């Protein structure tokens, strides 16, 4: 058998819904020598990584760690540990990933009550209160930052009505963690999961999760075994806890990468990181408006790190994406589900959330939109973005 071709991936500017551009320090960390998964050095790294994740989640939860798998593994881990067959669960669906949570919950045997909002809109606390009163669920699951629509949920308000209804709150923070406030303790979130490939600017492969004491008590007192052996938190707690009981061979070098990614965020400061994401979002949004384009998500609930922009009438959205990739080396995302062919999903996440990328993308969009006959004042998007940066 001949040797495989030499690995030579193209250099891209990743401005889609994820993965985001990886910080060079993270890539360098992942190239460090591999040690064993029970090596004293790695065990110390696990302790420090847990401490850093608690800072980013803003929690003191002892059971805070990184699941060996992508963000979807985090979703599955939180659901299957909290849900036993026959349990009632309310899932809020206003995009692709709320729908995925429904599927995971049903596979775990939950009696799922699905409440829905049109794509791009968000739920009110009153809507969720009514659903909780009717279904009396054990768990309410919601996506804080819906990657398919660019919409952000008001979790603090929702948490109050969920707990008033004596249910637990499970929150998807895959896109939000590291790019906007996620206050696990202050918002009384019982279980939360995320991913490494969005605002943490680390390759996909680990899923930060956190369970509070209430959630851990529920898991400890289950009547049935957790559906997944691999994701059973009662066993993972022995590996990530002080006992260090062997469970699986962790992805060592991926852990190095996440450790460095968390370090970078904490060096910048969480609040400064949130300000940076918001500033670049506002600059890009001003540029988009100057091109005569609008956002798909509800005003006042638009994510700072995921910009879902409506495609102008008469513009070939797929050709724009193709030309951005092939002529400019820029990746943006297509619409999914109800937004397929109608929006571009543009990520300004983590290391990618910087003015150079905002200007690069706006200038490329101006050229490509002009080639398709879209009317706007040339240079207007750059000037509009510049005004936002200047005012800051």
Task: Return d(Cα 231, Cα 234) in angstroms, integer.
Answer: 9
- Of 102, 159, 168, nearest to 136 by C-alpha is 168
Q: Please classify residue 391 by burial: count the beta carbons closer than 10 Å to its beta carbon, then call 0-12 exposed, 13-18 middle and 19+ buried.
A: exposed
pLDDT per residue as tens digits for the range 238-292: 888 877 888 999 999 999 999 999 999 999 999 999 999 999 999 999 999 999 9
- Of 263, 265, 121, nearest to 179 by C-alpha is 265
pLDDT per residue as tens digits for the range 166-222: 999 999 999 999 999 999 999 999 999 999 999 999 999 999 999 999 999 999 999
Burial 321-343 (b: 16+ CB within 10 A, else e): bebbbeebebbbbbbbebbeeeb
Per-residue pLDDT for 163 more than 90? yes
The share of the chain scoring above pLDDT 90, in percent, equals 96
Q: What is the mean pLDDT of residues 300-306?
A: 97
pLDDT at 373: 96
pLDDT per residue as tens digits for the range 94-146: 999 999 999 999 999 999 999 999 999 999 999 999 999 999 999 999 999 99
pLDDT at 246: 85
Q: Which domains are delineated in the chain?
A: 24-267 (3.40.640.10), 269-391 (3.90.1150.10)
Whether 45 and 256 have beta carbons less than 8 Å apart is answered as yes
Average pLDDT, the chain: 97
Task: Return d(Cα 226, Cα 233) in angstroms, integer.
Answer: 8
Distances in whole angstroms, Cα of residue 346 to Cα of each of 280, 306, 339, 373: 12, 6, 13, 22
Residue 77 exposure: Cα atoms within 13 Å on the Cβ side: 33
Please give the backbone phi and psi of residue 140, each rounded to the nearest 5 degrees, phi first: -115, 125
pLDDT at 212: 98
Q: What is the mean pLDDT of residues 15-38?
A: 97
């Amino acid at each position: 058998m001949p040797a495989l071709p030499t690995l030579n991936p193209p250099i891209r500017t990743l401005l889609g819904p994820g993965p985001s551009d990886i910080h060079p320090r993270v890539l360098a960390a992942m190239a460090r020598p591999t040690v064993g998964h029970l090596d004293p050095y790695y065990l110390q790294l696990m302790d420090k990584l847990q401490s850093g994740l608690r800072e980013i989640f803003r929690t003191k939860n002892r059971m805070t760690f990184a699941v060996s798998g992508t963000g979807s593994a985090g979703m599955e881990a939180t659901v299957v540990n909290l849900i036993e067959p026959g349990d009632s669960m309310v899932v809020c669906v206003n995009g692709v990933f709320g729908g995925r949570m429904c599927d995971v919950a049903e596979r775990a045997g939950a009696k799922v009550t699905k409440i829905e909002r049109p794509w791009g809109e968000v739920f009110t606390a009153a809507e969720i209160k009514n659903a909780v009163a009717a279904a009396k669920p054990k768990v309410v699951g919601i996506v804080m930052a819906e990657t398919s629509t660019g919409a952000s949920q008001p979790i603090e308000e929702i948490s109050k009505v969920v707990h008033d209804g004596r249910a637990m709150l499970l929150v998807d923070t895959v896109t939000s963690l590291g790019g906007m406030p996620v206050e696990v303790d202050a918002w009384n979130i019982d279980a939360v999961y995320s991913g490494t490939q969005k605002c943490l600017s680390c390759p996909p492969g680990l899923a930060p999760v956190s369970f509070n004491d209430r959630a851990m008590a529920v898991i400890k007192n289950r009547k049935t075994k957790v559906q997944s052996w691999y994701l059973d938190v009662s066993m993972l707690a022995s590996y990530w806890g002080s006992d260090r009981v062997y469970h699986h061979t962790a992805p060592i070098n991926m852990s190095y990468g996440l450790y460095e990614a968390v370090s970078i965020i904490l060096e910048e400061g969480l609040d400064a990181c949130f300000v940076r994401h918001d500033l670049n979002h506002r600059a890009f949004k001003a540029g988009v408006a100057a091109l005569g384009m609008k956002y798909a998500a509800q005003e006042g609930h638009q994510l700072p790190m995921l910009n879902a922009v409506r495609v102008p009438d008469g513009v070939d959205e797929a050709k724009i994406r193709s030309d951005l990739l092939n002529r400019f080396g820029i990746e943006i995302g297509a619409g999914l589900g109800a937004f397929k062919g109608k929006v571009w999903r543009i990520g300004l996440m983590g290391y990618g959330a910087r003015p150079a990328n905002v200007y690069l993308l706006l200038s490329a969009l101006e050229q490509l939109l002009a080639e398709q006959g879209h009317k706007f004042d040339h240079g207007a998007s750059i000037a509009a973005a510049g005004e936002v940066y200047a005012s800051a």
